Structure 1
Amino acid sequence: MAAAQPAPPAAFNILPIEINKLVLCFLDSDQDIVNFSSVCRSTYYAVNGDNNSFWRTRFRERYAYDASFSNGQMKIKYKTRTRLLKKGITMKFNREWTKSEKKLIWHLKDMINESFQGGTRMDEEDGAMRCPNQIEIIKFVLSSNHFLSIKGFANRIPEGFESDMDRMLEAVRIMCAQLLIEDIGDSYDILPFEDSQCAVYAHVKEVPMFYGQYKHTINMNWILDCMNFFHHHIVKPELGTLYDAMEYFPWGDRPSAWQSRLEEGCRPLSRHWKGTYSYLDERERNHIRDPNKRRGTIFEDKHIELGPSCIQDLEFEVNDSLKFEWPHYYEERLRSLTSTSMPPVTLAQHKTYRNIDNLPTALRISGEGSDQGDDFFASGWVNALPRQGGIPGWQRITLMKHFLPLDQGEMDDLWAYEGVVLPGGRLIIGRWWFASGDLDDPHYAHNSGPFLLWAVDEVPSDSEGSEDLPTDDDGEDDA
C-alpha cells in the first residue's frame, strides 16, 4: 500500500530551512508572509529565526536602509510602519490627534529624514529614480482619503496657535507635496485653489512668511498654499498655463523633490535654476485682499498663462561675503542678516535649533537671468534655519533683483524676493514684491505675488522653453 501523503505542515517541516527561506522570496504580500509563518514551526523559524535575518532583507527591499539598525529593530519598525501606512489611508487627520495618527506622523517624518540612506530604485509609475522611502510615501499619499487633500486641510490652525504635532504635520505635508509637484499627471488640488490664490497675494505686512525676531519660524500655512497654487497650474491641462510648459520640458528640467539625504546647516544652491512667478493687476489685488469681497472669486493669474516661454532661466553662484557689498538699502527691505546668528535656546530646544559647527549660518549669493527680454542681476543671502517639525534642511533665501550692476547703486527699479529653500535644495517657494520707494509709504510692497524656482541638472538649452518672455502690456505689475 502506498505511503500516506504528509499533511501540508509536515511537508514544510521536513524541508531544510534554506528551502523555506527560498519560498519566502516568492511571497509578495505581507499577509502571505504572516500566513506562511503560521503553517508550522519550520516556517515560523524561516521567517523569525536566524537572528531575524529575513526581516533585515525585507526592510531593505521596501525602505531606506540604515546600517545602525539591528535585525530586531528592523523587524519591529517594518511591521509598525507597514501597519500604520495601511491604517492611515482612512485616518481623518482633523487635529484631534489619535494615538495612531501621532505614530503615523512620526513614522512619515522618520521616513523623510532617513531617505537616501541606502540605494535608489526606479519608480514604476513614472520611471524616476527615487529612494524607496519616497516611493512608499507617494503610494500612501495617493491612496489616502484625507492626508493631502481638501478635506484634510479643512480646519487648518492659524499660524502661532499650533502644537508641536501640528507643526510636524505641516512640515511632513509640505515634503509630501514636494514629491507630487513633479508629477503632471495627477490632476487634483491639495487645497481649495480659491483659498490658496487669496493667500499667495496677501500683503507682505499682513501675512509674513517668517515669524520671530530671527525669522527662524516658517509660516507653513502660506508655504502650503503657495505649493498648492503652483501645483494647480502644473497639473491642470485645461488651464493652458504651466502644464504645457512642464509637458514640453524633459524630465531633468521639471521641478523635482530632494535627491539626497537631508542635512542641517547652510548649503550652497545648485548653479542652474528655472522658475516662474505670477501677479494680478491692482484692481484684482485690492479685490482679493478685501475679506468682504474675495470669497467665491477666482482671478486669472497673469504671466504664467504664456505657455513654455513663461519659464525663466537663472544661474546662482556663492560669493565670498567679505568681498561683496551688501547695500543698507537692500538690508532694510529684506532683513537678510537677521538670520545669520542662531537665537539663544534652552537645553530642551537644543536638538531643534542645533547647527553644524563647521558650516556657515549664511552664504552670500549672486545670480543672473533674463526677464521678458531684460537681463537682470540678483543679489542676496541664503540663511540656515533650524529644524521645522523635526525635519532638517530648511533655508531662508532673500534676493534683490536689479537691472544695473550693484556698484551703480540702482534704487528705482528693485524687486525683492523672499522664500524658503525646501529641504533637499531642489525647490524654492516664496513671494516677490516691488521694493523701491519709502518703507513708511502705506503703499510700499502693495504690488506682490508668489514665485517658484526649481533646480535643473544641466545647463539650460537654447530651446523654446528658455526663450525670453514677451513683454506684457501692464509693465507695472511685472515682478
Structure 2
Amino acid sequence: MPRSLRSTTGRSRLQPKPKMQPQTKIHAHAHTRTSAHRYARTFEILPVEIRQLIADHFEDDKDVASYRLICKSTNYSIDEDEGSFWRTQFLNSYDPPESVPEGYRSTVNEWFKQQYQSRKRAEGQKFVFDSGNSEEEANCLVLFKDLLIDTFNTSVCKAKKQSVHSPNMDRIERIAKAKGLLDCVLRRPTTRANKSPTNPVLLAIQLILTHLSLTAPLSSKMAKVWGFPDTQAVVYLPNSSRPIFKGPTCQEVDIDWTLHVASFFRNYLLSKQEPTHIHYENLDRFERPQGWTKPLSTSPLKLGKHWKGTYAYVDHDEIAQIRSGFHEDYPVQDHMCGEDTAETFQDLRLGFPKGQLEFWPDIFEHILKSRAKIEYRTPTTRAQKRATGPDALPEGEPVSFCFKGGGEDASEKFQASGWFNPLPPQHGIPGWHRMTMMKYYIDESSGQPDLDSLWAYEGVVLPGGMVMLGRWWSPTFDDGPEYSGPFIFWNVDASMPAIADDTQTTG
C-alpha cells in the first residue's frame, strides 16, 4: 500500500472505521454528589455535640461558614441545642460578660450569638484610628470598653474562680496594634476637614493602655511621641491652672493632662537619644510596666507593695519659660531623678495598715486634702458594684485607704504617707483611684521628720492598679511660681515572686 494512503496508525484510509461500542454518558458532578451524600451520611450519624465540637476548633469564622455548607447536618448543628454553639464560641473567645440577660436558654444563647457577631464585625472593620469620631472608630471604641470591663471576669457562665489568664487582654493588645490605637496618641487629626476634638473615650482608653505604650518596640509607631514641646508645657502646669481632678465634686479625671504625662515619660524611656532610655532598657522585663491581672472595679483592689518610677524636674527659673511656651525656640532639658547616680529610678515600697496612719499631721492634710468629704454615690450596675475584697464600697460614702512607705531617691532614703480614694467610672470604665502622698525625710540629728523639706504627690491610679501618673510639687517653696513637675510609678511585684501575692486590700 502506498505510504501516502496510510495513516500514522498504519491503517489504510480506505478501510472502514471500526464500529464504536456504545458507552454510558458520564455526568460531570456525579462523583461530587456521591461524595457529598457520603459526607452527609457521615455527619448525620454523629451526635450534635460532636458536630458542634468540630466547629469549635475552627479559628476563623469563615471556616464555620464553610462548614455549614457541607450538608444539612452540619448547617443545622450550628443552631441546634437551642443555639448553645454561640454561647460556647463567645466564652471560648472572650472573658465572661458581667451582665447576661435572664430568660429561657434559647433566649440567652441568642443574646450570646448577637454579642459574638457584633464583636467580630467590629474587629473585622478595616480602618486606622485617627480622632475616634468616625462610625468605624466609634464602634471599635464600644468594643474596647466592653473588653476592658470584662477582663478577668468570673460569672455564672463559668466557675467562680479567679482566672489567671484573660482572653480579653490578648484581644485588646491585638486589636490595638491592628487598628493603630496607640499610634495616634495626642496626634492632631490627619483629616483637614475634621475639626472636631478627639473623642474623649479614645483618650481614656489610650491612657488605660499606657503599659502597652511603655513596652512597645522602639521601631513601633507606638514609641513615637507627637508634639513634645506642647506636652512638656502641659505637664509642668501648676495645680492652680490645671488641677488633675475637676468637676463639681472633683471626681472627674483630667484625662488629657494625664495622657500628656504618659507621653512625656514615653519620650524619655523609649527614645534612644535620652540617657534615661539606657537604664530603662537594662531593666528586666518584669521590672517594666505590666498589664493588670484582676477585674476592674470601683470596689477595693489589691495594690502591690513594690513600685518603681521616676519624676522630671527643671531649674526653678526655667519653670516660667516652659509654661509660657518660650521653650519651643529655646528648648529646656528635663532632668530625671537620680540621673547622675547609679540609681536612675525611684523605688517605693508600700505597706497598708488596717487602722489609721501613725503619722499624718494636720499640715499633710491641709496640703493634700486627702480625706476631704466628696459627694459620691456608688453606681448601681453589677459591673460597678462588684467587690474584690471583704470591704465593699458603701453606697453614698467616699472611702479612703491609707498607706505608709519608704524608698530610695538617688540613693537617699525617704519616708512616705498617703491615701488612695476610689473614683467613679470615667467614660463608663471603672477602676480609677486618686493617690495622694507626702514624701519626707528624717532629720539625722533629731530623728524627727523634717517638715521644712516636704514633697507632695497627687496622681491617678489607672484601672487595674498597675500604673500611677501625676504631679509632684514643693509646698514649702514660696519664692516665685509653684515648683512642680510630673511623676510616674509602675508596679514591679512580678519581679519579686516571693512577695508577689503578699498584698493588702486597698483602694
CA RMSD of aligned residues (A): 3.5
Sort the Cα spacing of 1:289 and 1:253 in 2 relative to 1 into closer, same or farther, 3 A: same
8 Å CA contact retained: 1:280, 1:301: yes
Paired residues of 2:311 and 2:485 also in contact (CA < 8 A): yes
2:237 paired residue number: 202
Deviation at 1:448, TM superposition (A): 1.5
The within-5 A match list for 1:166-185 is: 166-185=199-218
Structure-2 residue corresponding to 1:105: 141
Give 1:323-402 correspondences, 5 Å limit: 324-338=358-372, 340-343=373-376, 356-357=393-394, 361-402=399-440
Deviations 1:390-424 (CA, angstroms, capped at 9, x unpaired): 11111101111110279946331111111111111
Maintained 8 Å contact 2:298/2:384: no
Which consecutive unaligned segments of at least 5 residues does structure 2 have? 1-23, 101-107, 156-163, 191-195, 386-391, 498-507
The answer to whether the Cα contact below 8 Å between 1:12 and 1:42 also exists between their aligned partners in 2 is no
Partner of 1:5: 31
SS at match of 1:237: coil
For 1:259 and 1:245, the matched residues in 2 are separated by 26
Question: What does the per-residue CA deviation read over 1:8-34, in whole Å, with 9 as the maximum and x for residues that have no partner?
Answer: 654543232546445435532222222
Q: SS at the partner of 2:352?
A: strand
Which deviates the most, 108-117 or 42-51?
42-51
Q: Give me the whole-angstrom Cα distance separating, in 2, the residues matched to 1:444 and 1:241.
A: 27
What is aligned with 1:59?
90
How does 1:6-85 map onto structure 2 within 5 Å? Answer: 6-7=32-33, 9-16=36-43, 18=46, 20-21=51-52, 23-66=54-97, 69=100, 70-85=108-123
The answer on whether the counterparts of 1:150 and 1:192 sit within 8 Å (CA) in structure 2 is no
Q: 1:427 deviation in Å?
A: 0.8
Per-residue deviation at 1:306?
5.7
Question: Does the CA-based 8 Å contact 2:441-2:449 persist in structure 1?
Answer: no
Q: State the match for 2:324 in structure 1.
A: 290
Pick aligned residue for 1:311 from 340, 345, 354: 345
Once the two structures are TM-superposed, the CA of residue 311 in structure 1 deviates from its matched residue by 1.5
CA 1:6–1:376 in 2, change beyond 3 Å: closer, same or farther? same
Specify whether residues 417 and 53 from structure 1 end up closer, same or farther in structure 2 by C-alpha distance, changes over 3 A only.
same
Cα distance change of structure 1 residues 74 and 297 upon mapping to structure 2, 3 Å threshold: farther
1:420 to 457, 460, 476: 460
Give distance in 2, aligned partners of 1:307 and 1:56. 56
> TM-score under structure 1 normalisation?
0.79
What TM-score does the superposition give when structure 2 sets the normalisation length? 0.75
Is 1:435 aligned with 2:468?
Answer: no
Post-superposition Cα deviations, 1:209-266, rounded to whole Å, max 9, x if no partner, equal 1113542111000111111122233333343423x33332223222112111112134
Q: Is 2:384–2:430's contact at 8 Å kept on the other side of the alignment?
A: no
CA separation of 1:377/1:89 partners in 2, compared to 1, >3 Å: closer, same or farther? same
Question: How many Å separate the matches in 1 of 2:458 and 2:422?
Answer: 14
Q: Which amino acid aligns with 2:60?
A: S
For residues 305-346 of structure 1, the C-alpha deviation after alignment (integer angstroms, 9 at most, x for no partner) is 5697311221111235545342222222212122x443479x
- Between the aligned partners of 2:186 and 2:110, the Cα distance in structure 1 is 35
Distance 1:301 1:168, change over 3 A: same
Taking the aligned partners of 1:263 and 1:272, their CA distance within structure 2 comes to: 21
Is 2:263 aligned against 1:237?
Answer: no
The CA distance in 1 between the partners of 2:400 and 2:343, in whole Å, is: 33
Kindly indicate whether the alpha-carbon contact (under 8 Å) linking 1:182 and 1:257 is maintained by their aligned counterparts in 2: no
User: AA paired with 1:282?
Assistant: H
Q: Tell whether the 8 Å contact from 1:273 to 1:314 is kept in structure 2 after alignment.
A: yes
Correspondence for 1:86 among 109, 118, 124: 124
Q: Cα distance, 1:55 vs. partner?
A: 2.3
Change (3 A) 1:206 1:353: farther
Shift of 1:280: 1.9
2:205 and 2:430 map into 1 onto residues whose CA distance is 11
Distance (Å, rounded) in 1 between the aligned partners of 2:152 and 2:132: 31
Shift of 1:116: 0.7
Tell me if structure 1 keeps the 8 A contact 2:415–2:442: yes
User: Separation in 1 of the partners of 2:329 and 2:259?
Assistant: 20
In 2, the alpha carbon distance for the partners of 1:137 and 1:297 equals 40
Distance 2:438 2:303 in 1: 16
Task: Name which one, 1 or 2, has greater alpha-carbon Rg.
Answer: 2
Residues in 1 aligned to 2:98 and 2:467: alpha-carbon distance in whole angstroms: 29
How do 1:257-268 residues align onto structure 2 when only pairs under 5 Å count? 257-267=291-301
Whole-Å separation in 1 of the counterparts to 2:132 and 2:171: 23
- Distance, in Å, in 1 between the alignment partners of 2:255 and 2:347 is 27
